[in-house]
C-alpha cells in the first residue's frame, strides 16, 4: 500500500490525539455530559436550592414543581438538591476508586511485565484469582468484610478493577519487549528500569487511559449498585444515588419520579464516560477509525 | 485436543486453591467470633468454648483450613449461622431460579442482539446503525436496578401487562418439584401456571439481559463488518450468489466465532448481575440470597457463594475455551 507523506510536521502524539478528540462528535457529547455533572457536584452548595439533608415533613413526597424541580422525598427533602449532592459522592468515590485500581494495577502489571519469570507467574496467578470472582461480587464481598463507609467502597471497587489494569498493562509490556526500539535501547546498555520507564510505559499508556475512562462508567454504576444493595456509605445524612433508589423503590407506585431522577443521573453520567472512552480509543489509535 | 483440555482444567486448580485460602482467611480474620454471632446476647464463655469446639475453631489455623478444604471437596460448604441449614441444601433449592433467570436473559440478549448486530452491519454508519449504536450505549450505561424499576413501573404498575415481582402466583398452588418454576408449572399440568411462570420471567430477563444485549450487538456488528470486507465474500458475490446465501453461508459462518466467545464470557456478568436483578424482582435465587446473607452477617454463606460463583464462572470459561477450540479449526492447542 502506498503511504502518503504527512501534509505537515507532526505535532506529537498527544496533541494529535487531542485534536482528533475535539473533532469526534460523540466524545464531545460525553465531555459535555461529564462537565455538567462535575460542575453540579463542585458547585452543589451554590446551585442546590435546599439543604439536601433537611426535610419538611409537611412537604413529603410532592411531585416535581417549580419550587421542587424534581419533587420531594418521603422526609420532604428536595430531590434536586439530593441528586446534586449525590453527584459529589458518585463522582469522587468512582474517580478515586478507579485511580486507586489503576495505580495499583499499573504497579503490579509493570512489575510482572517488566520482571518476567517467577515474579510474573506468581503475580498473574493472584490476578487470576481476583478475576475468577465475577464483576461486582468481589466489591460486594470486600464491603461486606470491611464494613460501611466511603473509604471501604473505594477500596472495594479499586481492588475489583486493579486486576483488569494489571493484566492489560502486562500484556502491552510483553508485546513491547520484543519491539525493535526496546531491543535498540537495550543494546545501547540502558538499564531495565530505564527501558521500562522511558521506553515501554509511555507506549503502553494509551490502552490504559481508554480502559480507565470506560471503567469510570462502570465504577459509577457499581458504586450506586453497592448503595442500592445496602452497602453504601451508611450515613443517612449523605445523599447517594444508589441509596436514594432503594428508598424510592418502596414508593414506585406513588412517586416514580423519585426513581427516575437519580436513575437518570447514574445512567447519563455513565453514558458520558462511555462516550468519552470510545472517543479516546478512536483518537488515540487512529487506525481504529473506519 | 485432549491434552489441551487437561491442561486448561489443571490451570484452574491453583486459582481455586488460592481463592479458597483467601476466602478462608477472610472469614477467620474477621473481628468477632462466630460463636458469639450464633449465640447473640446469650453468649457465655462456656457456651462460646463449646461452640468453638463443635465448629473446630479451637484447632490451629492450618488444621481448620484443611478441614474446610476437605469439606469443600465433599460439597460441604458449612451451614448458615442464621437458619442452621447447610449451604448446599439451600443452594440446590435456590439455584434453579437463578439458572432460569440467566437463561432468560441470555435468550433475550442473543435473540435480539444478533439480528440487531446484523441489521446494523448491513449499512455501516447508516441511520439503523446509528440507532443500534445508541441503543447499545444505553444498554451498557443503564444500571440493572434503574432499568428494572423502570420496567416494573411501566409494565407492572401502569399498564398491568406483566407481573412485577416474584416467580409464580402463589394462588396457583404449584408444588415445587424441580424448583424451576416453569418446569414445575408444566409438571402441574396447569396451562395458566405455565403462562404465569413465563410472564414472571420476562421483565427480570430484560433487566439482566440489557448489558449482554449491548455487548452481543456490538460484537456481532463488528464481526459481520470485518468478515464482509474479506476477499472471499467479494468472490462469493462476484460468483453471483444471492445476498441471502452470501449472508448465511459465507459471512455468518465466520462471524459466529467471536460472537460465541463473547456470549460465553457474559456468564460472569450475568451471575454478578443476578445479585441485583433478583433483589429488584424479589426473585428467590442465589443472587438475592447473597444480599440477605450480607444483611444478616451470615458470612459462611457469603464466603461459600463467592466460591461457588467463581467455580461456575471458571467452569463456563473453560467450556468456552474448549468450545472455541472445537469450533475453530484454525486454533492451535498450545
Cβ–Cβ gap B145/A245 under 8 Å: yes
Place A267 in a pLDDT band, splitting at 50, 70 and 90. very high
Strands (E) across B80-148 are located at none
Highest averaged pLDDT of the listed ranges A19-28, A154-163, A176-185: A154-163
Alpha-carbon dihedral B103, B109, B111, B112, rounded to 10 degrees: 160
How confident is residue B170, by pLDDT bands cut at 50, 70 and 90? confident
B155: enclosing H helix or E strand = none
Count other Cβ atoms within 10 Å, centred on residue B65: 16
How far apart, in whole angstroms, are the C-alpha atoms of residue B90 and residue B80? 9
For chain A, percent of residues with pLDDT exceeding 90: 31
Q: Which of B229, B281, B223, B228 is nearest to B98 (CA)?
A: B281
Quick check: A290 pLDDT over 60?
no
Report yes or no: A249 at the B interface, CB cutoff 8 Å: yes
Tell me the domain boundaries of chain A. 80-288
Q: Would the CB atoms of B149 and A125 count as touching at under 8 Å?
A: no
pLDDT tens-digit profile of A118-136? 888 889 888 988 888 887 8
A125 contact B CB<8A: yes
d(CA B277, CA B270): 9
Average pLDDT of chain A to the nearest whole number: 86
Say if residue B34's pLDDT is above 80: no
Reported as a single tens digit per residue, the pLDDT across B82-101 is 787 888 889 999 999 999 99
To the nearest whole angstrom, how far is the Cα of B272 from the nearest Cα of chain A?
6
End-to-end CA distance of chain B: 9
* Interchain CB contact of A128 with B (< 8 Å): yes
Among residues A220, A131, A119, A219, which one has the least CA distance to residue A168? A131
pLDDT of B44 over the 70 cut: yes
Task: Give whole-number Cα distances, A247 to A69, A229, A241, B264, B287, in Å.
Answer: 19, 11, 10, 35, 20
Contact check, Cβ <8 Å, A224/B280: no
Q: Is any Cβ of chain B less than 8 angstroms from the Cβ of A29?
A: no
pLDDT at A32: 95
- pLDDT at residue A166 is higher than 70: yes
Tell how far CA B17 is from the center of its chain: 22
How much of chain A is in helix, strand and coil states, percent to nearest 5?
Answer: 75, 0, 25
Q: What is the mean pLDDT of residues B36-61?
A: 72
- The residues near A205 (Cβ < 8 Å, ≥ 6 apart) are none
CB atoms within 10 A of CB B83: 10
Residue in chain B lying closest to A243 (CA): B145
Do residues A208 and A161 touch, judged by C-beta distance below 8 A? no
What cell was used for A96? 478515586
Cβ-Cβ contacts under 8 Å for B297 (sequence gap 6 or more)? B37, B81
CA A26 remoteness from chain centre? 18
Interface test with B, best of A132, A140, A289, A290 (most B CBs within 10 A): A132
What's the average model confidence in pLDDT over B195-208?
Answer: 91
| A87-96, B190-199, B252-261: the lowest-pLDDT one | B252-261
Helix B2-28 to helix A117-131 angle (10° resolution) is 70
Of how many residues is chain B composed? Answer: 334
Nearest CA in chain A to B20: A129
In this prediction, residue A283 carries a pLDDT of 85
Instruction: Please give the Cα distance from B288 to B307 (Å, whole number).
Output: 16
In angstroms, the CA B145 to CA B124 distance is 32
Q: Give me the pLDDT at residue A178, please.
A: 81
SS3 state of residue B86: strand
ipTM: 0.86
> In angstroms, rounded to a whole number, what is the distance separating the alpha carbons of residues B321 and B11?
13
End-to-end Cα distance, chain A: 17
Q: Chain B contact for A256, CB < 8 A?
A: yes
Alpha helices in B239-298 (DSSP H): 243-245, 253-280, 286-295
Query: Smallest Cα–Cα separation from A222: which of B216, B275, B100, B207?
Result: B275
Cβ atoms of A158 and A101 closer than 8 Å: yes
Task: Say if residues A108 and A162 touch (Cβ distance below 8 Å).
Answer: yes
Cell numbers 460472537 correspond to: B259
d(CA A242, CA B162): 25
Nearest by Cα to B80 from B232, B266, B304: B304
B288, HSE (Cβ side, Cα atoms, 13 Å): 18
When pLDDT is cut at 50, 70 and 90, the band that residue B210 belongs to is: very high
Separation in Å, CA of A290 to nearest CA in chain B: 10
Tell me how far apart the alpha carbons of residues A277 and B323 are, in angstroms, rounded to a whole number. Answer: 32
Residue B68 has a CB neighbour count (10 Å cut-off) of 21
Cell (9 digits) for A70: 424534581
Q: Which class does domain A80-288 fall in?
A: mainly alpha
CB contact under 8 A, A134 and B309: yes
Closest residue by Cα to residue B80 from B72, B68, B88, B70? B88
- Host H or E run for residue B28: helix B2-28
Amino acid at each position: 500500500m502506498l503511504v502518503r507523506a504527512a501534509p505537515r510536521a507532526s505535532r506529537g502524539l498527544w496533541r494529535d490525539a487531542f485534536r482528533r478528540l475535539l473533532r469526534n462528535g460523540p466524545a464531545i457529547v460525553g465531555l459535555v455530559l461529564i462537565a455538567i455533572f462535575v460542575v453540579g457536584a463542585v458547585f452543589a452548595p451554590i446551585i442546590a436550592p435546599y439543604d439536601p439533608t433537611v426535610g419538611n415533613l409537611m412537604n413529603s413526597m410532592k411531585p416535581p414543581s417549580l419550587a421542587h424541580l424534581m419533587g420531594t422525598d418521603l422526609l420532604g427533602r428536595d430531590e434536586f438538591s439530593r441528586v446534586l449532592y449525590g453527584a459529589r459522592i458518585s463522582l469522587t468515590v468512582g474517580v478515586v476508586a478507579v485511580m486507586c485500581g489503576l495505580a495499583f494495577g499499573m504497579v503490579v502489571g509493570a512489575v510482572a511485565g517488566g520482571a518476567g519469570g517467577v515474579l510474573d507467574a506468581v503475580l498473574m496467578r493472584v490476578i487470576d484469582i481476583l478475576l475468577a470472582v465475577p464483576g461486582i461480587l468481589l466489591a460486594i464481598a470486600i464491603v461486606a468484610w470491611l464494613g460501611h463507609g466511603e473509604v471501604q467502597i473505594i477500596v472495594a471497587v479499586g481492588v475489583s478493577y486493579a486486576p483488569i489494569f494489571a493484566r492489560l498493562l502486562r500484556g502491552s509490556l510483553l508485546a513491547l519487549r520484543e519491539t525493535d526500539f526496546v531491543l535498540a535501547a537495550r543494546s545501547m546498555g540502558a538499564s531495565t528500569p530505564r527501558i521500562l520507564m522511558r521506553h515501554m510505559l509511555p507506549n503502553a499508556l494509551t490502552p490504559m487511559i481508554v480502559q480507565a475512562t470506560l471503567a469510570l462508567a462502570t465504577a459509577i454504576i457499581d458504586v450506586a449498585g453497592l448503595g442500592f444493595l445496602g452497602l453504601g456509605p451508611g450515613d443517612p445524612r449523605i445523599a447517594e444515588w444508589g441509596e436514594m433508589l432503594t428508598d424510592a423503590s418502596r414508593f414506585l407506585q406513588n412517586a416514580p419520579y423519585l426513581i427516575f431522577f437519580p436513575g437518570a443521573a447514574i445512567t447519563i453520567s455513565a453514558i458520558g464516560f462511555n462516550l468519552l472512552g470510545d472517543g479516546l480509543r478512536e483518537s488515540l489509535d487512529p487506525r481504529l477509525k473506519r | 485436543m485432549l491434552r489441551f483440555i487437561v491442561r486448561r482444567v489443571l490451570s484452574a486448580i491453583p486459582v481455586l486453591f488460592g481463592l479458597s485460602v483467601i476466602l478462608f482467611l477472610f472469614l477467620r480474620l474477621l473481628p468477632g467470633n462466630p460463636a458469639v454471632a450464633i449465640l447473640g446476647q446469650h453468649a457465655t464463655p462456656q457456651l462460646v468454648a463449646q461452640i468453638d469446639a463443635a465448629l473446630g475453631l479451637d484447632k490451629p489455623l492450618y488444621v481448620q483450613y484443611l478441614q474446610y478444604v476437605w469439606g469443600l471437596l465433599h460439597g460441604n460448604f458449612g451451614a448458615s449461622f442464621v437458619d442452621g441449614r447447610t449451604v448446599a441444601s439451600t443452594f440446590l433449592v435456590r439455584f434453579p431460579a437463578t439458572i432460569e433467570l440467566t437463561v432468560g436473559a441470555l435468550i433475550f440478549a442473543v435473540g435480539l442482539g444478533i439480528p440487531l448486530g446484523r441489521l446494523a452491519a448491513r449499512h455501516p454508519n447508516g441511520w439503523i446503525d446509528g440507532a443500534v449504536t445508541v441503543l447499545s450505549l444505553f444498554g451498557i450505561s443503564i444500571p440493572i436496578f434503574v432499568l428494572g424499576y423502570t420496567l416494573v413501573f411501566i409494565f407492572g404498575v401502569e399498564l398491568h401487562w406483566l407481573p412485577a415481582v416474584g416467580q409464580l402466583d402463589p394462588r396457583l398452588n404449584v408444588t415445587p418439584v424441580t424448583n424451576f418454576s416453569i418446569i414445575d408449572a408444566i409438571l402441574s399440568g396447569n396451562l395458566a401456571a405455565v403462562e404465569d411462570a413465563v410472564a414472571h420471567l420476562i421483565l427480570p430477563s430484560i433487566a439482566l439481559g440489557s448489558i449482554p444485549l449491548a455487548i452481543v450487538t456490538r460484537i456481532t456488528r463488528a464481526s459481520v463488518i470485518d468478515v464482509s470486507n474479506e476477499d472471499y465474500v467479494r468472490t462469493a458475490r462476484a460468483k453471483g450468489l444471492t445476498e441471502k446465501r452470501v449472508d448465511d453461508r459465507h459471512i455468518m459462518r465466520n462471524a459466529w466465532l467471536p460472537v460465541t466467545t463473547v456470549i460465553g464470557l457474559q456468564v460472569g456478568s450475568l451471575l454478578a448481575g443476578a445479585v441485583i436483578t433478583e433483589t429488584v424482582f424479589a426473585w428467590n435465587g442465589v443472587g438475592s440470597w447473597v444480599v440477605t446473607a450480607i444483611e444478616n452477617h451470615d458470612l459462611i454463606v457469603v464466603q461459600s457463594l463467592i466460591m461457588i460463583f467463581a467455580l461456575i464462572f471458571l467452569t463456563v470459561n473453560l467450556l468456552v475455551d474448549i468450545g472455541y477450540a472445537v469450533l475453530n479449526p484454525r486454533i492451535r492447542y498450545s
